[in-house]
Amino acid sequence: MTINLLADNAGSSILNDFLALGSWQTLVAVVVFYAVIIPFFILINRYKVKFIYRILMGLGIGLVFGIVIQAIIGFPQTAEGLKEHTWVMQFNIWANLLKEIFINGILLLTVPVVFLAIFRITAKPGQKGIGRITLKGIGLLLLNVTFAFIITFWLGILFKVGAGMDLDSQVEGNDPNGTHETKPLPQIIWDYMPKNFMGALALGVIIPVMVLGAITGHSVKMLNKRKPEQMARIRNAMDTGWDLVISMLMTFMKIMPIAVISMITTAITSRPIGALATIGKVIGLGYLSLLISVAFLTLMLFLFGFRLKGWWKAAWKPLVQAFATQSSNATLPVAMETLKDDMKVDDKVVSTIAPLSTSLGLMACAGVQAGLVTSFLWTGSDKIASGFSGGLAVFFIMSLIICLIASLGIAGIPGTAAVVTSGVLGGLGYASMFGPVYAIIGALDGLFDMGRTAVNVVAGVAVASMTAKTEGLIGDDSEILSAKQLAKQKEILSNRIKKDNLKETKQLALKEKMAAKKAS
């Protein structure tokens, strides 16, 4: 009996299919990769290198690895050309090991973090203003999406981003119009209500988990009047669970620097980088819009009175992780930690706005992506540009409205921009254009998704910061506000408490009056 270790290309073998080491090139690449990563990890821990420098060094090492491998195989122009190099595909499997362990570990904790955060806020006796904070957050998130869409759309029109793509000829039957399925707004809302307690937790969709946490916490708060001791024990247990989850999170964060090497390396080696020249205008316009979006957020923070240096000093950590992981959900625990520990934003705002910002009002995945897609469609299809009823102005308004609706429920996982693309095209009545449009825009989606996710996360952190400032919920020792602004926070908070107490007193008086009237 013989064991086939090195089968031909048509067959299978232990080395190819099980060990993913089917050639000497793969073996050399994997050995060199881990020969660099392991000593790097040991050294940064031995010499207590600051976290920011660990991440930046990881980015640099990953970039070098990726470019070197791409250079060795000659920067393939197409995905088919890349697949010809089997040893690179097998190397990616090994290089992905650290990335997948890290992302899966963070995603493992995302649902517990969100559920416990919302529960702890809503279960506390005397907590007020959650509804007002939520509405402010949603308003600011949708404002971000609106700005990003407007800027990207008109930049796309100005630079004629789809010119020369001849999208009409790529649609079956040469008809750009097609049927589409889009969820009506009421259905989007009722889908947020979980149908199954354990199912909501298992699926990991953030807004239903938030709803579940809020209902559970509110129920504990209501029962606190009749069973204070039992409810206090439940709250204490949840607080202990929170400490445990955060401790687990910190364990995974320790391997983030080497996970970043894995992420950046595979992001480069798993895509046909040579094709960038072909669609450079699309990617360039996309990143230009992302940079303008960051500038807009910075301007908003300045107008709200934040110290920009102090704010960005804290915000870099979730930004870098978002860029590397391409997942808002995977970055959520770090974003919440940054807001609470570094920016000193009150837990009431952090636990409400941060989870919300991963699924609703994503500035880049909704605003920038939709603006890019719609401007690409208008400039790349002569039939649509010449035949759309109402002209460009009506097309723009319709696209913006559909973009805002589509942004109301986007899960914060890699690849959600494809869902937005499909939803916006379908909403406009051009579902059949998804194939030719996404064939161009999605060709290097992974590289574009890095920037998109980073902007999504930073926008969420910015909205939480701005909402907290309007509520007076930024701590005295925060570095993101001046001493004068911090003093004003106390005044704002005091006024909020007085207004909430007055409102509650009036409501109680009204209830007593109605009860007395009913009794008589």
Q: What is the rounded distance in angstroms from the CA atom of residue 312 to the CA atom of residue 307?
A: 9
Here the tokens at position 384 are: 């649509």
Question: Which DSSP string do the residues of 492-505 spell out, in sequence order?
Answer: HHHHHHHHHHHHHH
Phi, psi of 500, rounded to the nearest 5 degrees: -65, -40
Query: Of 343, 363, 377, nearest to 469 (Cα)?
Result: 343
Model pLDDT, residue 304:
94
Which tokens belong to 227? 């069973």
CB 127 within 8 A of CB 134: no
Q: How far apart are CA 80 and CA 360, in angstroms?
A: 36
Nearest to 296 by CA among 406, 146, 451: 146
Structure tokens at 180: 């589409």
pTM of the model: 0.76
| Cα–Cα distance, 125 to 163 (Å, whole number) | 59
Q: Which residues pair with 319 in a beta bridge?
A: none
- The span from the CA of 11 to the CA of 83, in Å, is 17
Token pair belonging to 183: 């969820």
**Could you tell me where the beta strands, DSSP code E, fall in 433-496?**
none
Full set of structural domains in the chain with CATH: 110-255+314-485 (1.10.3860.10)
Candidates 366, 360, 352; CA nearest to 411 is 360
DSSP 8-class letter at 474: B
Instruction: Check residue 273 and report its DSSP letter.
Output: G
Are 336 and 354 a contacting pair, CB within 8 Å?
yes
Neighbours of 303 (CB within 10 A): 9
Give every CB contact of residue 138 below 8 A, 6+ residues apart in sequence: 356, 360, 361
Q: Which residues contact residue 7 at a Cβ distance below 8 angstroms, ignoring those fewer than 6 apart?
A: 13, 16
Q: Which residue in this structure is represented by tokens 């890349």?
A: 82
Q: Output the 3-class SS for 228-258.
A: HHHHHHHHHHHHHHHHHHHHHHHHHHCCHHH
pLDDT at residue number 375: 92
* Tokens read off for 6: 């090195």
Cα–Cα distance, 398 to 377 (Å, whole number): 14
| Cα-to-chain-centroid distance, residue 125 | 32
For CA atoms 478, 482, 487, 491, the dihedral sign is negative
What is the reported pLDDT for 274? Answer: 65
Q: In a structure prediction context, what are the per-residue pLDDT tens digits for the chain, which is 520 residues long?
A: 444 444 444 445 777 778 878 788 889 999 999 999 999 999 998 988 887 788 889 888 998 999 999 999 888 877 677 777 888 889 999 998 988 888 888 778 878 888 888 888 788 776 677 888 989 999 999 999 999 999 999 999 999 888 776 676 666 544 444 444 456 667 767 777 888 888 877 776 777 888 888 899 889 988 988 888 899 999 999 989 988 988 888 888 888 889 889 888 887 888 777 656 556 778 889 999 999 999 999 999 999 999 999 999 999 989 988 888 778 888 888 899 999 999 999 988 998 899 888 878 889 988 999 999 899 889 888 888 887 777 899 899 989 988 887 787 555 444 566 667 777 887 787 877 877 777 677 666 667 888 999 999 999 999 999 999 999 999 988 999 999 999 899 888 888 888 877 877 777 777 777 777 777 6
